[in-house]
Structure 1
C-alpha cells in the first residue's frame, strides 16, 4: 500500500496513502471537482473559510513549515472521515521531494502499464486514496485524477509508483 516517488528529484520519498485519512490536507472528492457546491449563503461562507485555510496552508508550505496534521477530531468529524471519499493533492509531496528544474514528465506505474503525465498535470492533479473512508485495496493504492476533472469518470487506476523524468 505504499507508493514510491523517485527519479529526477532531490530526495526520493515513500508515500503511505493509508494514513492520509488523518491528514488535514485531504479534500472530499466532490469538493475537489465542484468547489462551489450549493448556492446558499452558508455554503459560500464555508467555502470562503476553506479557501482561507487553504491559502494559509499554502503560505506555510512556501515557508517550509508543514501544515498541522492529525489535529484532534470531534466525534462527528471522525465519523465523517470514515464515511467520505477523499483525494489528496501531490503538490506538497513534490515540494518535499524537491523536483529538479529540468524535470518535464512523470511516469505513473500501474499494473495496466505506464501512464505519462506532465509535471504540471501531476502538480495540479489529485490522488484518490479512500472510498467511503476505506483505502483502495482493489486497483489501488491510488487513482490519479487531472485537476480539471477531465478524467473524473476514467481515472488512472492502480498507481503504485511515481517516477519523475
Structure 2
C-alpha cells in the first residue's frame, strides 16, 4: 500500500503528504480527547503572544526558573507518542497548496469510493494517522474525520489522494 498522499487539482502548489512523520509534529491532536473537549475559538497567534508575554514578565520579576521535572516530562511525552491515537488538522496543508479562486470542492479519493465536500468544510477536516501508537497500515495511511466529529465512529478510510475541484 502506498503511504504517500497527494493534494492536486485546482491548486497553485501540489502537495505531497507523508503521514509517517507526523508523529513528530507539534500540531498533532490526541484523537481520544479531541472530539470530547470543548472547542476554543481563540486565535492561536494571540494566545501564543499572551503566553510568551506572561512568561517574559515572570522572568523579569522573579528571574529564570527551570522546571525540575523536565526529564520526567520528556519520558511521559515519549510514552504518550508510543501509545497514543493521533491526528492532524488538514487546514495547513490545504492552505499551503493555495487553492485557486474558482475551486469549490474537495474530492477525497479512496480505494473503494470518492467523497466530495465543499471546500470550506474541507478546511475543518482532521487526518488520523496513528492508532494506539501504530501506523494505520490495514486501512490507512490516514482516516479522515469531519471537524465536528460526526463520523468519529466511521471515518473515511483507505485514502489515496485529495483533489481540489
What band does the TM-score fall into relative to the shorter chain? Answer: 0.7 to 0.9
- Name the structure 1 match of 2:144: 144
- Judged with a 3 Å threshold, the aligned counterparts in structure 2 of structure 1 residues 34 and 154 are, in CA distance, closer, same or farther, namely same
- Name the structure 2 match of 1:123: 123
Deviation at residue 57 of structure 1 after TM alignment: 8.8
Question: Alignment partner for residue 56 of structure 1, among 33, 37, 45?
Answer: 45
**RMSD over aligned Cα atoms:** 2.4
Deviation at residue 106 of structure 1 after TM alignment: 0.8
Q: 1: distance between equivalents of 2:115 and 2:109? A: 7
Deviation at residue 59 of structure 1 after TM alignment: 8.3
- Name the structure 1 match of 2:69: none
Deviations 1:102-135 (A, max 9, x none): 2111111111111112112211111111001211
Question: Alignment partner for residue 26 of structure 1, among 16, 21, 28?
Answer: 28
- Name the structure 1 match of 2:102: 102
- Aligned residue pair count: 140
Q: 2: distance between equivalents of 1:8 and 1:35? A: 34
Deviations 1:29-81 (A, max 9, x none): 03321224xxxxxxxxxx98xx87x7139989xxxxxxxxxxxx812101101
Highest Rg: 1 or 2? 2
Structure 2: runs of 5+ lacking an equivalent: 50-72
> TM-score, structure 1 length as denominator?
0.77
Structure 1: runs of 5+ lacking an equivalent: 37-46, 61-72
1:82 is aligned to 2:82: yes
- Judged with a 3 Å threshold, the aligned counterparts in structure 2 of structure 1 residues 110 and 78 are, in CA distance, closer, same or farther, namely same
- Name the structure 1 match of 2:17: 15
**SS of the residue aligned with 1:107?**
strand
Q: 2: distance between equivalents of 1:98 and 1:114? A: 22
Q: 2: distance between equivalents of 1:96 and 1:127? A: 16
> TM-score, structure 2 length as denominator?
0.77
Q: After the TM superposition, which segments of 4 or more aligned residues of structure 1 sit over 4 Å from their partners?
A: 57-60
Q: Indicate conservation of the 8 Å contact 1:108/1:114, yes or no.
A: yes
- Name the structure 1 match of 2:58: none
